[in-house]
Structure 1
Amino acid sequence: MPVTHNSDVSVAILGAGALGSVIGAALAEAGRPVALWTRNLAHAQAIRDQGLRVDRGGETRRVRIDAGPVGSSAAQPDLIILLTKTQDSAAAMESIAPHIARGAFVLTLQNGIGNAERILPFCPADQLLTGTTMTNGLMVAAGHVSTQGAGEAVFKAMSPAGEARAAEFEIDVPGFALRHSGHALEAIWTKAALNCAMNAAAGLTGARVGQLTSVPGMRETLSAVAAEVVAVAAAQGITVAQAEVEAKIDYATANHTYHKSSMLQDVEAGKPTEIESLCGEVTRQAEGLGLATPLNAAFAALIRLKTAPATGAETEGANDA
């Protein structure tokens, strides 16, 4: 599928919740061909009926954008951005198999680590890109999202042939930039270190971001969790600066005071969390490398326990004197 200039690249965003909708809105406002693919039919219907409402920087806009289930848009996309929850990756990839067969590239910007390897069985390596984004988004209601400002994503290809074409998929529009980078793996692990610490802690405690360091010992705990992730990355030749992770923790707690992490939102909604692609995956990779990550292992186990289906045991003895 030849692409002559990146302004010609058509994009479909699979798993278009809050984050995907924010990114899609930026592309649509810039006149880029983009579609939102989502299982949230109420969200898609609201967008079709009234446009996507986006709150950004004190302004509210209505953005007209194609939205519906996978394949609802008529055009074959050049690039499919995968933003589903990591536990939904296999089903998501199966749903876009016809598009991949026709030459679409897939870019995973999902949370955590190991995402590209997880979906590689469903996509030729030459068509697979992996990256990360610090763009933020919040689902206010169906058809309504908010964001705190412009976002950026970085990515790399999973094969030399993919690298040769990677520049075709770079995007730079107001509100969002997608950049090919030689440091994409470092960025993926840096974000993972941040999320293993803050997302898991928020999911366990119910604390908003600004509350996470409000009691003695918690700031040090977040640092220690992140340091384990940094060590696992280093053992695989990936350099993550602990100081950069620390700065991101401090920035988040100071500037995103009332924000609920995605894991906390999932816990509160009774949905599966992404703990297995964060602390769980770090622990598994560490074991393979002969490293110990006791804090990540503990966070993973506690989130599993917190979100385990009720067995009825919690009612036993409820009437005991």
Structure 2
Amino acid sequence: MPSSRWAGSTGGACRQVTVQQVVIFGAGALGTVLGARLATVRPVALVARPAAARAIRRRGLVVHGEGAARLDPGAVTVTHRPRPFGPRCLVVVAVKLPDLAAAGRSLAALAAEDTCFLLVQNGLEGRELFLGGAGRPLLTQRAIASMGAELLAPGEAVCAGGGLTLERSPCSAALALLFRKAHVPCTESPDFERALWKKLAVNCVANPLTAILDVRNCDVITPDLAPVRRAVCAEVAALAAHAGHPLPEDLPERIDAALGASSNRSSMLQDLTRGRPTEIDYLNGFVARRAEELGLAAPVNATLAALVRARTAAAAAPYRLRRWAAPPQRPAR
């Protein structure tokens, strides 16, 4: 990272960095958990939609499960209209991929020269979407979230554990230390691109199946669905290998073990339940499009993407009573 306020140059390692303030942009499940934990070590401002902001101002933040916490109203600043960022501000961008370009447009106008944006999204296109929306260069750091979190109400979430993996960079060591001080498990990845592909495979298995079937993660680990899970992994692995990031041969077994131990509701199922746009076009839809561009095949990912889109459309359409035609009458003899 080019700013000397963030990174040192000794041996490529990062000097101690003092983040003066943290802004959490997006008050969903992940933003709520990270905001509550980071507020124990730094001043935190939480940017939420107007209705959610009002609710959080009244009730504060509550995290159940692992690392349970309760923050009184006023422990964090809550707003739906953030002000320009001060010096040494870390902005954790915790919105979903469909909202990321708009987030870039909004936040670019508020950024100082040394503002660092931590992008915590699924898929492979997060940085491009964010900077495309911003329309100018910004200091960005990517992260992968493996935290199982579910939003119960504005400012209230359940956390089932997990943490963050940071893209290795001149400032990642200092950011990882900050998160660990806030009791968020955090590591740096020396091969972040491969880690993104692995997470994409997990998401392409868990999210559409749980959303289509309306079940928790562990419920998709059945013998009947095994061929589907393995076909999804094989299609993602083919693209990853083409991109120069071959995935482990036992990745399907690893995914089965991880999902089998998880009783979470996936983020895509939560989005469908709340009538929010899903990330399907950035996950299975992305795999299908990229495979077609490269002359490869990804029919299972394409089918799952189509089914999620159909379920989304059905959920959004008003329910209509259908009038069934009466059976034809036999002619009188």
Secondary structure at 2:109's aligned position in 1?
A: helix
Matching residue within 220, 226, 237 for 1:230: 237
Structure 2 equivalent of residue 153 of structure 1: 165
CA shift, 1:168, in A, is 4.4
- Between 55-64 and 84-93, the greater mean CA deviation after superposition: 55-64
8 Å CA contact retained: 1:53, 1:61: yes
Question: 2:203 — aligned with what?
Answer: 195
Find the residue that maps to 1:145 and give its secondary structure: strand
CA distance in 2, matches of 1:238, 1:175: 31
Supply the RMSD in Å over aligned alpha carbons: 2.7
Superposed, 1:159-198 pairs within 5 Å as 163-170=169-176, 171=178, 172-198=180-206
Determine if contact 1:150/1:174 at 8 Å carries over to the other structure.
Answer: no
- Paired amino acid for 1:135: M
The alpha-carbon deviation at position 145 of structure 1 amounts to 1.3
* Amino acid aligned to 2:140: L
CA shift, 1:200, in A, is 0.5
Q: CA deviation at 1:96?
A: 0.6
Q: In the TM superposition, what whole-angstrom CA distance separates every residue of 1:46-105 from its partner, at most 9, and x where no partner exists?
A: 333332111133855336222222415874562222221111112111111123354322
Report the counterpart of residue 258 of structure 2 in structure 1. Answer: 251
CA separation of 1:314 and 1:59: change in aligned 2, threshold 3 A: closer
**8 Å Cα contact 2:20/2:87 also seen in 1:** no
| 1:48 and 2:57 correspond | yes
1:65 to 2:76 alignment: yes
CA deviation vs aligned residue, 1:268-321 (integer Å, no higher than 9, x gap): 222211001100111122222221111101111111122126898985853223
Hey, which of these two has a bigger chunk of helix by percent?
1
After TM superposition, the score normalised by the length of structure 1 is 0.85
Question: Which is worse superposed, 183-192 or 70-79?
Answer: 70-79
Distance 2:198 2:280 in 1: 16
1:137 aligns with 2:149: yes
Q: In structure 1, what is the Cα distance between the partners aligned to 2:192 and 2:295? A: 25
Alpha-carbon contact 2:22-2:45 (below 8 Å) kept = yes
| Residue identity in the other structure for 2:304 | F
Q: Distance in 2 between matches of 1:77 and 1:71?
A: 16
The one of 94, 100, 110 equivalent to 1:89 is 100
Unaligned runs of 5+ in 2: 7-14, 327-333
Residues 271, 126 of structure 1: CA spacing in aligned structure 2 closer, same or farther, 3 A cutoff? closer
- The letter of the residue matching 2:58 is D
Q: Larger Cα Rg: Structure 1 or Structure 2?
A: 2
Cα deviations across residues 241-284 of structure 1 (Å, max 9, x unaligned)?
2424532332222x223x21111122222221100110011112
Structure 2 equivalent of residue 99 of structure 1: 110
Go from structure 1 to structure 2 and tell me whether the alpha carbon gap of 1:57 and 1:130 turns closer, same or farther (over 3 Å shift): closer
Q: 2:288 aligned to 269, 272, 283, which one?
A: 283
| Counterpart contact for 1:47–1:65, Cα < 8 Å | no
Q: Secondary structure at the match of 1:210?
A: helix
Structure 1 residue identity aligned to 2:47: W
Aligned pair in 2 of structure 1 residues 299, 208: CA closer, same or farther (>3 Å)?
same
Match of 2:46 in 1: 36
236-245 or 277-286, which deviates more:
236-245
Shift of 1:178: 4.1
Moved more, 286-295 or 126-135: 126-135
Amino-acid identity (%): 33
1:107 shift after superposition: 2.2
C-alpha distance 5-210 of structure 1, shift in aligned 2 (>3 A): same
CA contact (8 A) 1:36 1:66 kept: yes
The CA distance in 2 between the partners of 1:123 and 1:168, in whole Å, is 28
The verdict on how the C-alpha distance between 1:97 and 1:90 changes in structure 2, with shifts beyond 3 A counting, is same
CA distance in 2, matches of 1:199, 1:311: 19
For 1:307, the equivalent position in structure 2 comes to: 312
Question: How far is the alpha carbon of 1:206 from its aligned partner?
Answer: 1.2
Please name the residue that 2:12 is paired with.
Answer: none
C-alpha spacing 1:113/1:176, structure 2 compared with 1 (3 Å): same
CA distance in 1, matches of 2:157, 2:83: 21
Name the CA shift for 1:312/1:187 in 2 (closer, same or farther; >3 Å): closer
CA distance in 1, matches of 2:316, 2:268: 22
